[in-house]
Structure 1
Amino acid sequence: MHDPHPARRFGLPTATALVMGNIIGGGIFLLPASVAPYGTVSLLAFAVLTVGAVALALVFGRLAERDPRTGGPYVYARAAFGDFAGFLSAWSYWTMTWVSNAALAVAAVGYVHVLAPGHGSKGVDLAVALLALWLPALANLAGTRWVGAVQIVSTVLKFVPLLFVAVAGLFFFDPHNLGPFNTGGGSGIGGLSAAAAILLYSYVGVESASMSAGEVRDPERNVGRASVLGTVGAAVVYLIGTLSVFGTVAHRDLVHSTAPFSDAVDAMFGGSWGGTLIALAAVVSIVGALNGWILMSAQAPYAAARDGLFPAAFATKRRGVPTFGVLVGTALASLLTVINYTSGSAGVFETLVLITTFSATVPYLLATGAQVHFLLSGRRDEVRPRRFARDLVLALVGFGFSFWLVAGAGYAAVYQGTLFLFAGVLVYVLMAARRAATRPGPDPRAASQADPRAASQADPRAVPQAAPQAAPADGASPAAETVG
């Protein structure tokens, strides 16, 4: 659908901020404490995961060179494997985004409690969570100009304090605080795998630039650059930040910490103001992540709707943003947030959040599989033939990283996620039936002109005509022109 309002396209800085802002959400503020029980082997796990994440980012960059349309993993899966695979990619990604947005909004409430203690009612908490969802949604509805502005500002505001704590912590670093390399003993493989299972989803979001490739200026070049720069920037914050917290907070305290970055600030500078600083950075970080993820929640169904795989309303754009998708995604996240605060049980919410850990992996597996398919099926000219060996290695590493994501999700996540994925098959069937019903059927008159025998079979009263002695020398019949 034509957008009458001009949209501002994302430059490289904005696209990079989109990737980095979507990767760094609220989870980073608890990560050091989450992996501390496994020892400093978790730093090695982070380094290994970073290699896989960068490889995945490079694969998305290569794929965007081939097809720089909005939709990213969906576009690549559909081009390689057809409509059904493309639909599964879009369905999984869409599900993951709006459920994750609800989880981010609920996480923001905890940090708001630190900034404004004393309000403990569920009603106030629900209002804060809904506000965290709808303020970024309004920025999205205002168009790509506002999305980009909010993303750059929020990324800077959360990157600077996190980087400050990370760098400052190196000057207060005490090796005695690190604790053992591997608390479980043995060769360290078990601890490495256990820590990696927790850290795996730290890099979800590397695909953000390719998801919005249609809104990125010069996407053939900038999507790949933004994907790598954003992933590396997030990795720097992750690695140095975790190392600094490990070195400034005693291991025995870090294992039981509920605010590791706050404890690190207090240990470095004294006092108790670290909690306020980090809570403020966390709220900004989550709001910025919601700004980017709300856009992602609209881009996947938008791309699928263009091809008739999602309802046509999702293909509506205004100022470069699929507005209907923004409204639907935010409304679903809001509904899930309301359920979390009013149902009296977090079972439904926790189950849906569990689903997202698997849903995020499906588009990655299909996209990296598509790259391998393009390279090995004689279509390597579409992905730079002179880079065949390097691109194939990157695609296989990216596929391996994505497969590791599935393994790290756990049995419950894979089970619940698979059920939800297959529930989408019904949506695909309904959309396919609708397309078939609206597709024009063959013209019987054209069929009779092309093949008199078909007409006689269709109508027994029809009399076959003698075939002409010679075909016209200047071209085919009108029926052949229609078919051709």
Structure 2
Amino acid sequence: MGNIIGGGIFLLPASVAPYGTVSLLAFGVLTVGAIALALVFGRLARRSPRTGGPYVYAREAFGDFAGFLAAWSYWIMSWVSNAALAVGAVGYVHVLWPGHQSRGTDLVLALLALWLPALANLAGTRWVGAVQLVSTVLKLIPLLFIAVIGIFFFDPHKLGSFTEGGHSAIGGLSASAAILLYSYVGVESAAVSAGEVRDPERNVGRATVLGTAAAALVYLLGTLAVFGTVAHGQLVHSTAPFSDAVNTMFGGAWGGTVVAVAAVVSILGALNGWTLMSAQVPYAAAHDGLFPKFFAVRRRGVPTAGVLIGTVLASLLTVFNYASGSQRAFEVLVLVATFSATVPYLLASGAQLYFLLSGRTAEVRTGAFVRDIVLALTGFGFSLWLVAGAGYEAVYQGTLFLFAGVIVYAWMSARRRHRPAPVPEAVTEPVR
């Protein structure tokens, strides 16, 4: 839940309001796809409860190259997303600390947002879990409060029309879905860290499905509450829809402060989880010789080299963002990161289909063959929808990033081929 719910939820109602209440229907459709994908990851984690998640499944089904592409894409997505989250946190800090905005101060705050979760990760997986639990509870309290209390202030006349802005129902559904799609990136988080989880065959599947369903419930109820408490005309132009909802319910102007605190906590919690994610997949790939071996260095259950390298790369990207003074290059990279997340999703869904259709149902450990085929196809379709929602430019740029990794794969493959073969141990005949 902590990885799925970042800072975007606090702007989502205003982002989809121009399309009308059809966006709530889009949320429902997307939730079905996200939960189907979560169920697929749960099934795959039961079959292969190892750290690495999508990388492990793709490699076991389709070989080293597919596994490498899954690991490479996921790694790029994770540290670029971390940089984006850090920059997003700075915007909410401005609400809490007005009048102190400068490029230098913002850079320092963004770097702190990256390195504080990194330090928690370096302290060990127990600290990661503790920080994630606390931050998730702290950010859920205000979101659930608004969602539940919003029922008593709900005014259907504020919802606006089913479709707005001249969009057809299908057009509004697709357009709002394209915005909402990225809210569910992170459904694979529990599977990625399966090797560090107690009883992963049971707990990873549960965490994946329950976490995704709970995040979806928070999204839907929170968005519905904002739609029903903030007048549609105001919501379309709102820069802080949850703050406006609190102010509408209780009056005053303190809602912005409460929501800003929740947003900062939410983003720091997401960074805590995604910092670990940025190290886990390279760690698994390094163990198999597909990534440089220093990614396999681990201490207290955490791949320390991966955490440090991912945080350094995210820091460099953050410095570039503030030094250039232009958001355009950074926005493109964020879209590239979103596209990159879909590659391991597609490969994992394809792996599940392969295991089912190749007669290896015993390894999948599931009895309902038809149900699992439907789930895998739904997860695959959901992932394709993510690709379409990323847009042409992101797909084009993301494909270039993806295949740039071929150079790394060629280098690692050549190194493995020239490694001396292990000398077999001498076999001693037993004395008769």
TM-score calculated relative to the size of structure 1: 0.86
Aligned length: 427
- How far does the alpha carbon of each residue in 1:404-446 deviate from its partner, in whole angstroms, 9 at most, with x for none? 1111111001000000001011110011111111143999xxx
For 1:430 and 1:108, the matched residues in 2 are separated by 37
Q: Which residue of 2 aligns with 1:54?
A: 35
- Matches for 1:318-333 after TM superposition, within 5 Å: 318-333=299-314
* CA deviation profile, 1:31-89 (whole Å, cap 9, x unmatched): 00000000000000000000000010000000011000000000000000000000000
Structure 2: how far apart are the matches of 1:204 and 1:385? 25
1:119 aligns with 100
- Which has the larger displacement, 298-307 or 337-346? 337-346
CA distance, structure 2, for counterparts of residue 173 and residue 346 of structure 1: 37
Greater C-alpha Rg: 1
Partner of 2:223: 242
> Which residue of structure 2 aligns with residue 435 of structure 1?
416
| Conserved 8 A contact 2:38-2:188 | yes
* Match of residue 194, structure 1, among 166, 175, 180: 175
Distance 2:329 2:165 in 1: 34
Paired residue for 1:44, among 7, 25, 28?
25
2:9 to 16, 28, 35: 28
Corresponding residue for residue 88 of structure 2: 107
Structure 2: gaps spanning 5 or more residues:
none
2:11–2:239 contact (8 Å) kept in structure 1: yes
**2-structure distance, mates of 1:195, 1:347:** 22
Instruction: Quote the offset at 1:103 in angstroms.
Output: 0.3
Q: Distance in 1 between matches of 2:22 and 2:310?
A: 38
Whether the 8 Å contact between 2:10 and 2:263 is mirrored in structure 1 is yes
**For 2:135, what is the secondary structure of its paired residue?**
helix
Residue of structure 1 in register with 2:269 after alignment? 288
CA 165–431 in structure 1, closer or farther in 2 if over 3 Å, else same? same
Task: State which of 219, 233, 240 in structure 1 corresponds to 2:214.
Answer: 233
> 2:64: which partner in 1?
83
Q: Distance in 1 between matches of 2:366 and 2:128?
A: 36
Identical positions, percent? 79
Aligned partners of 2:366 and 2:321: how far apart in 1?
51
- The CA deviation string for residues 373-394 of structure 1, in whole angstroms up to 9 with x for no partner, is 0000121111125221111111
Q: Once the 2 structures are TM-superposed, how far is the Cα of residue 357 of structure 1 from its aligned partner?
A: 1.7
Counterpart position of 1:367: 348
Separation in 2, partners of 1:229, 1:198: 23
Deviations 1:1-55 (A, max 9, x none): xxxxxxxxxxxxxxxxxxx000000000000000000000000000000000001
Partner of 1:130: 111
Encode CA deviations 1:350-375: one digit per residue, 9 max, x unaligned. 22112112101000000000000000
Equivalence for 2:122:
141
Give CA deviations for 1:314-362 in whole Å, capped at 9, x if unaligned.
Answer: 0111000000000000000000000011123333322211211210100
Q: Does the 8 A contact of 2:356 with 2:373 survive in 1?
A: yes
Which of 175, 179, 189 is 1:208 aligned to? 189
Q: 1:402 aligns with which of 372, 383, 388?
A: 383
Q: Partners in 2 of 1:105 and 1:439 — Cα distance?
A: 44
| Aligned-residue CA RMSD (Å) | 1.6
Q: CA deviation at 1:184?
A: 4.6
Aligned to 1:73: 54
State the match for 1:475 in structure 2. none
Task: Answer yes or no: is the 8 Å Cα contact 2:230–2:244 preserved in 1.
Answer: yes
Instruction: State the secondary structure of the residue aligned to 2:186.
Output: coil
1:351 to 332, 336, 349: 332
Partners of 2:112 and 2:423 lie apart in 1 by 53
SS at the partner of 2:49?
coil
Q: Report what 1:92 is aligned to.
A: 73
Mapped partners of 2:394, 2:260: distance in 1: 29
> Is 2:19–2:167's contact at 8 Å kept on the other side of the alignment?
no
**In 2, Cα distance between the equivalents of 1:185 and 1:329?**
44
- Helix, strand or coil for the counterpart of 1:308? coil
1:233 match: secondary structure = helix
1:124-156 superposed Cα distances (whole Å, 9 cap, x missing partner) = 100000000000000000001100110000000
Deviations along 1:87-146, whole A, 9 cap, x unmatched? Answer: 000000000000000000000000000001111111110000000000000000000110
Letter in 2 for 1:360: A
State how far apart, in whole Å, the 1-side matches of 2:329 and 2:296 are: 30
* 1:267 paired residue among 248, 251, 263: 248
Partner in structure 1 of residue 363 of structure 2: 382
Aligned to 2:294: 313
Cα 1:347–1:188 shift into 2, 3 Å: closer
Code of the aligned partner of 2:203: N
Quote the offset at 1:196 in angstroms. Answer: 0.4
In structure 1, list runs of 5 or more residues that go unmatched. 1-19, 444-477
Cα distance in 1 for residues equivalent to 2:195 and 2:421: 31
